[in-house]
Amino acid sequence: MKDALTDTSHLTEDAAKFASSIAFSDIPEDTLHIAKRCMIDGLGVMLAGTEQEAMEVADRYLTTTGAKPVARLVGNQTLKASPQQAAFWNGLAGHVMDWDDTQVAEGPNRPYGLLTHPTVPPLSAVLALAEVSEGVSGKEFLTSFVAGVEVESKIAEAINPDHYNLGFHTSGTIGTFGSAAAAARLLGLDLGQTAQALGGAASMAAGIRANFGTMGKPMHVARSSENGVTSALLVSEGFTFNAAALDGKWGYLSVAGRGGEPELVQGRFGNPFSLSEPGVSIKPYPCGVLTHPSMDTMKALMVEHNLRPEDIEKVTLFASNNILHPIRFRVAKTELEGKFCMAFLLSSIILTGRAGKAEFTDAFVQSPDCQAMQLRVETQYDPDIAAMGHDKILSRIEVVTKSGQVLKKFSDDRYRGGPNNPLSDAEVEQKFMDCVAGILPNERARQVLDMIWSLEDVESAASILDCVNG
């Protein structure tokens, strides 16, 4: 194994060394705190996601596959599955509402200045394996999660931005490396085994943006969670993979990304941790971060001018193609389409002043008021905004009222939830409470929050699921 690691690979070896050797004491206090915030957020959106239609399909799918029922599923009190399938369920639930956090890019020319959804794949993996691995303490759970997020984030930073621009869904592809690293760390795999687990992840990392707006998009994250666990478990049983599969010959960076810049991150795993620098964005809305500044701008206009829905004659959003191309549905007919429809997203703010769990439903999207309001909202390409850079999530909104007023407002580059304008701990907790409303009693929800804030003192990480599932 030593020869294989020192032959052609650098990035794979760096990642494997880091994931296999990191100790709890290596994680700075600020990184631990952010990791706990991400766990709270990740668990919350998983529980909220269990109410979505895709999870009913997943329940039927897992019920009929006949795997050994050993691992509990987040938010499902009646079904057990294999660790791999539990990771699939957790990953699907965590991304089905598109409400999970986002990694902020360090390098230039990254789309929107963002890279991947870092939390759900490694969190799904460690939740699934904590059920079947004996003696996993809260410290081990936290350490494995942080290891997975760090490996995922650094690989996402290294790969050529063409990976996403040409159609790969990074959370499905690069997320596989995060779940594999987290699973390898939790299973106690050594350096060589961890490198091979990353090699297996490279062969299973997939997901294309053509499936955005369907159940296929969250399925990418479900598979990234499942495949990372599968790769680590296979290696633990003696299965072999290429230990130089990231930037070695025919490695993932060259095959799926037209190359990349591994030198940007080599020697920098945990130095600093990406959770702390450049940081993560915890989403206030269950849709893509690139839409959030526009939604906040619409809300500000409504409040500043005391507007009511019936006052609105027309709304035009001016933006660059970095927003307009992926947000591609003119009028949303379903909740899934609504995540990629600016007319719906702004209509939700106009009609209710919110865009949360209650609004992201087929019933609300298809309501007569919502369908009518969407027809009043248009988008328009703005070359001046485009000239400000593809990595900027900028827009301006122009509202024409029925009385003839023309109201204009430019979005704030410091989008809410991002590292430069983060949600407070109290706001993160409130988002969790909103996510679990109707799912967990308030007292039990509070117990989950308290447990995660003090996770290093928890004797058995499986007690998280005891509390979550009741």
- pLDDT tens digits, 136-182: 999 999 999 999 999 999 999 999 999 998 999 999 999 999 999 99
Helix (H) or strand (E) holding 379: strand 377-381
Each residue's pLDDT tens digit, 233-247: 999 999 999 999 998
How far is the C-alpha of 429 from the C-alpha of 417, rounded, in Å? 13
Q: CB-side exposure of 346: number of CA atoms within 13 Å?
A: 32
Domains of the chain, CATH where assigned: 2-283+430-469 (1.10.4100.10), 289-410 (3.30.1330.120)
| Residues 102, 417, 209, 378, Cα dihedral to 10° | -170
Residue length, the chain? 470
Each residue's pLDDT tens digit, 294-340: 999 999 999 999 999 999 999 999 999 989 988 889 999 999 899 99
How far is the C-alpha of 187 from the C-alpha of 378, rounded, in Å? 51
Each residue's pLDDT tens digit, 386-437: 998 777 789 999 999 999 999 999 998 788 999 989 999 999 999 999 999 9
Please name the residues in contact with 402: beta carbons below 8 A apart, sequence gap of 6 or more: 310, 311, 312, 313
pTM greater than 0.85:
yes
For 444, counting Cβ atoms within 10 Å of its Cβ (0-12 exposed, 13-18 middle, 19+ buried), the class is: middle
